[in-house]
Amino acid sequence: MAADIPLYPTGPADDASFVRFVDGGSHPVDVSSAGSNARLTLDAARPASHFFPIAAGKPVAGTLTAGGAREDVSATVQPGEFVSIVALDAAQKGARSQVVTVREKPDDFNALKASVGFYNLDARCAAPTLRVPGRDIVLLDGVAAGQGKRRQVNPVALSVQLSCAGQPVGQPLSLGTLVAGQRYTVFLVPAGVQSRIFFANDAVSR
């Protein structure tokens, strides 16, 4: 049940790009690809798909359905690029869901370290910062809205605390015990009048 459905045809290995879909809202999201019957469902228990290898430079299209609203999406991914397509709740009640695309071209692989990224998808959170709770350590900060930032960390058990404008928001989030050579992403998204964070393992679908 945890296996990812191949939504799109895979490109040649030396020309591959990667795309994933993320549920950053409050409703389950159904993802379907254009031109096929392949689909998958994302929810709070499993908010992100794996990264699907796709042919670089060729547009991929599909439909995201959340809370009864449908949103057509399309993206062209460059060689070696990792693209996350994130569905967010509508800014206003009755409006269409928001879809945000975040692009990354990783160049920081280290087999001895884990890589933790922070995607800021909530412009209302001023000066968003990820700290290590109980310790005066800033893990990631200075991330503009709609952008991401990443750093290498030791493969240890890690929790993070979100702060906005210097004030803690919500409870600490446990990432579990990180694994050397693997990548993780913490997403900051709107959640009603507040902000919230969740994380995904940046695994590639095989």
Domains of the chain are 1-105 (2.60.40.2890), 108-206 (2.60.40.2890)
159 close to 175: Cβ distance less than 8 angstroms? yes
Q: How confident is the model at residue 1 (pLDDT cuts 50, 70, 90)?
A: very low
| pLDDT tens figures, 135-191 | 889 999 999 999 999 999 999 999 999 999 999 999 999 999 999 999 999 999 999
pLDDT of residue 2: 45
pLDDT greater than 60 at residue 5: no
Q: Which residues contact 77 (CB under 8 A, 6 or more apart)?
A: 17, 18, 19, 54, 56, 57, 60, 83, 103
Look up residue 76 and give its two tokens.
């062209």
| pLDDT tens figures, 94-139 | 556 789 999 999 887 889 999 999 999 999 999 999 999 988 899 9
CA 130 to CA 188: how far, in whole Å? 10
Q: How confident is the model at residue 16 (pLDDT cuts 50, 70, 90)?
A: confident
Q: Which residues contact 20 (CB under 8 A, 6 or more apart)?
A: 48, 49, 50, 51, 52, 82, 83, 84, 85, 200
The one-letter amino acid code at 20 reads R
